[in-house]
């Protein structure tokens, strides 16, 4: 599991450029699914046929990660940028980034900084070691994208890396495919979506194409368990968080209750999640076509969208267990 996540997070995949991540995931699962395809937007869609084809279940984990995009190259070779998704300027100070999966750069800001809350992306730059604009342009073009340049580390029983949002969710889907001992109850589409971080765009087209009856996202959520954290009743290591609400969705109560019942019956620890900040692919699945029964399993994460996101290994294992129980359940109370 740790080895799989290491390969996933260390693969370059900012929103809009998920190709390398997609090929890695395809290689992991293609022998173990009944059908696999890539749609026009770039979503990877893998089907595990169910015992019953009267309902369709869609699972969504996003392949993309937040990043930067080059907007201007200066005479001295410095790269100016804006963000792709939710990247805080202060998380970038002193950070190394990787353009196009190959060119390393260092980030700093103009002048002296009196107030960190006033720091803006357009007062910052990337130094890729070039001395002139021409030299920089040999490596970087306007519109090229970058991600944090970091490796995965194991810290106690916790993983620290960039891009755990949402390669950890991708790993949960991959491991669930590998660990399923019998056919799922219904036809189950494992969807690895694109462009979640810029407005859950891949989930729009993939859910339209699949037209699911039930949609379940697997993504990171936040926690309230660090010094003076904003109040939130989710902690690291206390189990997968069964989503109740985020800014994209009010979860179907019957699906939420099914997840709670299955967690309790199988002695899987769980928490309930109300996320005030940010949406997920869940809301797109719920609103696709004539609507779907939608919910989510959220992996608790600290420092989400920083270069050092943190998740707990037991939460991952329990997320896989809970998802597997759902897929093999009778979906009681839903239809
Ligand atoms: Co995110
Ligand atoms: Zn995410």
Per residue of the chain (335 residues), give pLDDT as tens. 899 999 999 999 999 999 999 999 999 999 999 999 999 999 999 999 999 999 999 999 999 999 999 999 999 999 999 999 999 999 999 999 999 999 999 999 999 888 888 999 999 999 999 999 999 999 999 999 999 999 999 999 999 999 999 999 999 999 999 999 899 999 999 999 999 999 999 999 999 999 999 999 999 999 999 999 999 999 999 999 999 999 999 999 999 999 999 999 999 999 999 999 899 999 999 999 999 999 999 999 999 999 999 999 999 999 999 999 999 999 999 99
How far is ligand 2, taken at its centre, from the CA of residue 284, in Å? 14
> Which fold is adopted by the domain 2-65+162-327?
Aminopeptidase (3.40.630)
Sequence length of the chain is 335
67-148 is classed CATH 3.90.950.10: no
How far is ligand 1, taken at its centre, from the CA of residue 271, in Å? 20
Q: Which ligand is nearest to the CA of 63?
A: 2
Q: Which ligand is nearest to the CA of 218?
A: 2
Q: Indicate the domain borders of the chain.
A: 2-65+162-327, 67-148
Phi, psi at 171, each rounded to 5°: -65, -35
Q: Which of 196, 197, 238, 309 is catalytic?
A: 196
How far is ligand 1, taken at its centre, from the CA of residue 299, in Å? 12
Q: Which ligand is nearest to the CA of 167?
A: 2
How far is ligand 1, taken at its centre, from the CA of residue 115, in Å? 26
Q: Which ligand is nearest to the CA of 66?
A: 1
Residue 196 falls in the annotated catalytic set = yes
Beta bridge partners of 69: 82, 145
Listed in sequence order, the residues at least 6 apart from 46 whose beta carbon sits closer than 8 Å to its beta carbon are 29, 30, 33, 35, 36, 177, 189, 190, 191, 192
How far is ligand 2, taken at its centre, from the CA of residue 84, in Å? 13
Beta strands 52-62 and 186-193, pairing class: parallel
**pTM of the entire structure?**
0.97
How far is ligand 1, taken at its centre, from the CA of residue 66, in Å? 7
Closest to 50 measured CA to CA, from 208, 167, 212:
212
Whole-number Å distance between alpha carbons of 12 and 35:
26
């Amino acid at each position: 599991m740790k080895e799989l996540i290491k390969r996933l997070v260390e693969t370059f995949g900012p929103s809009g450029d998920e190709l390398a991540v997609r090929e890695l995931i395809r290689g992991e699962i293609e022998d173990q699914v009944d059908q696999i395809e890539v749609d026009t937007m770039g979503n990877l869609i893998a089907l595990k046929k169910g015992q019953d084809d009267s309902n369709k279940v869609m699972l969504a984990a996003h392949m993309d990660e937040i990043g930067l995009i080059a907007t201007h190259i200066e005479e001295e070779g410095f790269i100016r940028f804006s963000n792709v998704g939710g990247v805080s300027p202060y998380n970038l100070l002193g950070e190394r980034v990787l353009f196009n999966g190959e060119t390393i750069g260092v980030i700093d800001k103009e002048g002296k900084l009196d107030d960190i809350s006033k720091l803006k992306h357009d007062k910052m730059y990337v130094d890729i070691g070039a001395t002139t604009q021409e030299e920089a342009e040999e490596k970087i073009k306007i519109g090229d994208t970058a991600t944090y340049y970091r490796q995965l580390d194991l810290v106690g029983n916790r993983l620290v890396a960039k891009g755990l949002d949402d390669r950890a969710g991708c790993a949960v889907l991959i491991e669930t495919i590998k660990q399923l001992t019998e056919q799922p109850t219904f036809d189950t589409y494992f969807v690895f979506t694109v462009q979640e971080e810029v407005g859950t765009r891949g989930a729009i087209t993939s859910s339209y194409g699949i037209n699911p009856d039930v949609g379940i996202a697997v993504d990171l959520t936040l926690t309230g368990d660090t010094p003076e954290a904003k109040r939130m009743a989710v902690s690291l290591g206390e189990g997968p968080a069964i989503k109740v609400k985020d800014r994209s969705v009010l979860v179907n109560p019957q699906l939420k209750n099914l997840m709670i019942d299955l967690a309790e019956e199988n002695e899987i620890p769980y928490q309930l999640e109300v996320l005030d900040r940010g949406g997920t692919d869940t809301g797109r699945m719920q609103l696709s076509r004539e609507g779907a029964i939608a919910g989510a399993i959220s992996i608790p994460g600290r420092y989400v969208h920083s270069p050092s996101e943190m998740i707990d290994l037991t939460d991952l294992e329990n997320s896989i267990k809970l998802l597997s129980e759902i897929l093999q359940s009778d979906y009681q109370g839903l239809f």
